[in-house]
């Protein structure tokens, strides 16, 4: 039996979640290999079209991460991320792609949370199966 291995695009902000990922590495915290990280300076750089493009390109899920509210390196950039991603998550429901886009805050000191976030999202997508947008 072939096990379905989800392909997941992950967006990390330079200051918190990317550093959280680095910390997970330094701590040798093991997590599934399914994610591919794209670094941006702030999660607020992530425009909804990037999510759509990743899904259209065949990603089974998109995980957006940033600093906790109040911790943003750019003061309140993540407030706009929350607003935009909230809209994207809602739109996913309408498009039959519910559960494939997720927003999570991971600070630079939260290596374990980074690991958990990735592990849980991979399992969530594994349960959902391949994206209907994926060409077979």
Site residues (CB under 8 A) for other proteins? 7, 9, 14, 18-19, 21-22, 24-26, 28-31, 33, 36-42, 44-47, 49-50, 53-54, 56-59, 70, 72-77, 80, 84, 115, 133-135
* Closer of 29 and 128 to other proteins (Cβ): 29
DSSP assignment, residue 66?
Answer: E
SS3 37: strand
The residues facing 8 across adjacent strands are 35, 61
Pairing of strands 35-40, 61-66: unpaired
CA 7 to CA 55: how far, in whole Å?
Answer: 10
3-state secondary structure (DSSP) of residue 35: strand
C-alpha atoms less than 13 angstroms from C-alpha of 40 in its C-beta half-sphere: 19
Nearer to other proteins, 100 or 115 (CB): 115
Rounded to a whole number of angstroms, the minimum distance from the CB of residue 49 to other proteins is 8
Pick 94 or 135: Cβ nearer other proteins: 135
Residue 2 beta carbon to other proteins: minimum distance, rounded to whole angstroms: 14
Minimum CB–partner distance for residue 36 and other proteins (Å): 5
CB of 122 to other proteins, least distance (A): 12
């Amino acid at each position: 039996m072939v096990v379905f291995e989800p392909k997941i695009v992950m967006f990390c902000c330079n200051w918190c979640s990317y550093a959280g990922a680095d910390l997970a590495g330094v701590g040798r915290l093991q997590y599934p290999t399914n994610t591919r990280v794209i670094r941006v300076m702030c999660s607020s750089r992530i425009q909804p079209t990037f999510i759509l493009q990743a899904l259209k390109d065949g990603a089974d899920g998109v995980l957006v991460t940033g600093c906790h509210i109040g911790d943003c390196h750019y003061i309140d950039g993540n407030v706009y991320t929350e607003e935009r991603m909230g809209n994207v998550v809602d739109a996913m429901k309408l498009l039959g792609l519910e559960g494939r886009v997720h927003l999570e805050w991971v600070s630079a000191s939260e290596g374990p949370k980074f690991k958990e976030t990735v592990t849980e999202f991979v399992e969530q997508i594994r349960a959902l199966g391949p994206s209907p947008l994926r060409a077979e």
